[in-house]
C-alpha cells in the first residue's frame, strides 16, 4: 500500500518466521488437514481447491496439522501458528459458484475433503512449478495461506473419515442450510467443519447450493450459530451481578463485561499505539440491541461474530442471559493476523475463568478502564451510555 519495496512491515514479519530453503515443486503428495480455500475475487467466477502440506525431505520441524480446526493451535506461539501454515499449499481452478450442485472432478475432490473429519492424503499436479519455502500470506479472517497455483489434477489417495451425520446432511438436497447447521451442531460437528461444508457448497437445497468464499463462510457460520444460541438464551433468567472476564493470547487482551438485563452486545477493539499496523492507535466498534444485527459489522468485521458466539455459548452453558461489552486491545506482539479463530477461542478461554463481580456497571468500568489502552473510548461507548438512560425494561 505504501509502495516501498521491500515493504518494511512484511520484512519484519518474515524476520520472525523459520527460515526454509526455497524450492519449486510441480506435484505434491501430502496430508490435507483437511482444508480448502475458496477465493472471493472475480465472484461469481472464483478460484477454489484443496490445500495440502508440503513436507521437505529430512524435515524434523513442526508436525503438520491433523485436523482442519485452527482452534487446535490455541496456546501456541505466533511463530508456530504461522509456521504450521507456511508450507500449506493450495491448488485450485476457476469455477462458477453455481457449480456446487454439479461438481466436476476438481470440485468433487474438494467437497470430499471438506466432509472429512481428519487429515486426508491427497495428490496434486500443478500446471506450473510452485515456489515453496516463502512466508505465508496473512489474513484477518482466515488462517495464514501458503503458496497456491493452478491444479491440473487433484485426487484423494488415502482413506477419508466422514462423520455419519455429515454424510447424511450432504445427501439431503431439500434441507435449508440453516436447518442443516442446526442438525450438524446437535451432532457435535464443530464450527470449523461446518464452515468447510458451507464453503464447498455442500449445504442447502440442491438448486440453491453455491460455493462460498472462505472469508464469508467463516463469518456466516459464526453468525448462524450465534443466532441459533440467541434464540435459546433469550428465554433464560438474567444474571444478577455485573461480571468481568479477562484473557490474553498473542498480545490480544480481552476484557468481557456481562451485565443483567435484556440482550445487547458491543465489541470495541483497539490497535494500540506502537503495534505493527498503526502508529497512532485506533478504536473501532459495532453493536446490536435486543436482537442480532442484520447489517454486517463492517468496523470490527468477522471478529464481532466470533466473539459474540463465545459469549452466547457461555450464557447457554450457565443457563443465564444478559448483555455484553467486549474490549479487545491488540498489542505490538501481534505482528501478523492469523484469523478470527483467535478471537473465538480467547473469548471461550476467558469465560472458563472465575469472573470478578461488581454491583454496578460503573464499578466494572472503573475496574477495566485503567487496564486498557483508551479509557475514554470505553467510558463514552454506546454500551455504557445506553445503561445510563431510562429503559423500558427498567419498569
Mean predicted confidence (pLDDT) in 100-120? 94
Of 13, 35, 36, whose CA–CA distance to 83 is shortest?
Answer: 13
How does pLDDT run across 230-273, given as a tens digit for each residue? 999 999 999 999 999 999 999 999 999 999 999 999 999 998 76
Mean predicted confidence (pLDDT) in 152-160? 92
With a cut of 60, say whether residue 165 has pLDDT above it.
yes
Work out the percent of the chain whose per-residue pLDDT is above 70: 88
Mean predicted confidence (pLDDT) in 281-301? 93
Query: What is the C-alpha to C-alpha distance for residues 241 and 218, in angstroms, rounded to an integer?
Result: 33
57 φ/ψ sector (left φ>0, alpha ψ -120 to 50, else beta) = beta
Give the confidence band of 395 by pLDDT, cuts at 50, 70, 90: very low
Mean pLDDT rounded to a whole number for the chain = 89
With a cut of 80, say whether residue 291 has pLDDT above it.
yes
With a cut of 80, say whether residue 226 has pLDDT above it.
yes
How does pLDDT run across 75-104, given as a tens digit for each residue? 999 888 887 777 889 999 999 999 998 999
Residue 258, H or E segment: strand 252-259
Other beta carbons within 10 angstroms of residue 278's beta carbon come to 14
Alpha helices in the chain (DSSP H): 8-15, 78-86, 105-115, 164-171, 177-186, 191-199, 214-233, 302-318, 341-352, 361-368, 375-379, 382-387
SS3 114: helix
Query: What is the C-alpha to C-alpha distance for residues 71 and 54, in angstroms, rounded to an integer?
Result: 21
How does pLDDT run across 350-359, given as a tens digit for each residue? 999 999 999 9
What pLDDT does 332 receive? 87
Query: What is the C-alpha to C-alpha distance for residues 146 and 391, in angstroms, rounded to an integer?
Result: 51
CA 169, chain centre distance (Å): 23
SS3 24: strand
With a cut of 60, say whether residue 58 has pLDDT above it.
no
| Predicted structure pTM score | 0.90
What pLDDT does 315 receive? 98
With a cut of 60, say whether residue 28 has pLDDT above it.
yes
Give the confidence band of 68 by pLDDT, cuts at 50, 70, 90: confident
Amino acid at each position: 500500500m505504501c509502495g516501498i519495496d521491500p515493504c518494511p512491515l512484511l520484512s519484519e514479519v518474515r524476520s520472525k518466521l523459520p527460515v526454509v530453503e526455497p524450492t519449486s515443486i510441480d506435484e505434491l503428495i501430502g496430508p490435507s488437514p483437511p482444508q480448502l480455500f475458496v477465493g472471493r475475487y472475480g465472484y461469481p467466477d472464483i478460484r477454489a481447491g484443496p490445500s495440502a502440506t508440503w513436507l521437505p525431505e529430512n524435515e524434523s520441524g513442526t508436525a503438520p496439522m491433523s485436523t482442519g480446526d485452527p482452534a487446535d493451535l490455541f496456546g501456541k506461539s505466533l511463530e508456530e501458528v504461522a509456521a504450521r501454515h507456511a508450507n500449506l499449499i493450495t491448488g485450485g481452478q476457476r469455477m462458477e459458484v453455481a457449480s456446487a450442485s454439479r461438481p466436476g472432478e476438481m470440485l468433487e475432490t474438494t467437497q470430499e475433503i471438506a466432509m472429512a473429519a481428519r487429515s486426508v492424503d491427497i495428490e496434486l499436479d500443478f500446471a506450473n512449478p510452485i515456489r515453496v519455502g516463502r512466508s505465508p500470506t496473512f489474513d484477518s479472517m482466515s488462517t495464514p495461506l501458503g503458496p497456491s497455483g493452478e491444479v491440473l489434477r487433484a485426487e484423494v489417495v488415502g482413506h477419508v473419515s466422514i462423520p455419519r451425520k455429515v454424510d447424511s446432511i450432504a445427501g439431503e438436497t431439500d434441507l435449508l442450510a440453516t436447518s442443516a447447521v442446526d442438525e450438524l451442531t446437535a451432532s457435535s460437528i464443530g464450527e470449523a467443519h461446518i464452515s468447510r461444508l458451507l464453503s464447498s457448497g455442500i449445504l442447502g437445497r440442491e438448486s440453491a447450493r453455491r460455493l462460498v468464499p472462505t472469508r464469508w463462510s467463516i463469518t456466516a457460520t459464526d453468525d448462524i450459530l450465534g443466532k441459533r444460541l440467541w434464540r435459546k438464551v433469550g428465554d433464560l433468567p438474567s444474571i444478577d451481578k455485573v461480571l468481568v472476564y479477562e484473557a490474553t493470547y498473542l498480545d490480544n487482551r480481552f476484557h468481557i463485561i456481562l451485565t443483567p438485563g435484556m440482550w445487547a452486545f458491543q465489541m470495541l477493539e483497539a490497535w494500540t499505539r506502537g503495534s505493527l499496523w498503526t502508529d497512532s492507535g485506533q478504536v473501532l466498534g459495532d453493536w446490536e440491541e435486543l436482537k442480532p444485527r442484520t447489517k454486517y459489522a463492517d468496523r470490527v468485521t468477522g471478529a464481532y461474530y466470533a466473539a459474540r458466539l463465545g459469549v452466547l455459548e457461555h450464557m447457554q452453558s450457565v443457563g443465564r442471559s444478559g448483555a455484553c461489552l467486549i474490549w479487545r486491545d491488540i498489542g505490538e506482539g501481534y505482528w501478523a493476523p492469523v484469523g478470527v479463530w483467535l478471537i473465538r477461542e480467547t473469548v471461550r478461554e476467558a469465560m472458563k475463568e472465575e469472573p470478578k463481580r461488581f454491583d454496578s456497571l460503573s464499578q466494572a468500568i472503573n475496574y477495566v478502564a485503567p487496564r486498557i489502552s483508551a479509557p475514554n473510548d470505553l467510558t463514552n461507548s454506546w454500551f455504557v451510555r445506553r445503561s445510563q438512560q431510562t429503559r423500558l425494561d427498567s419498569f
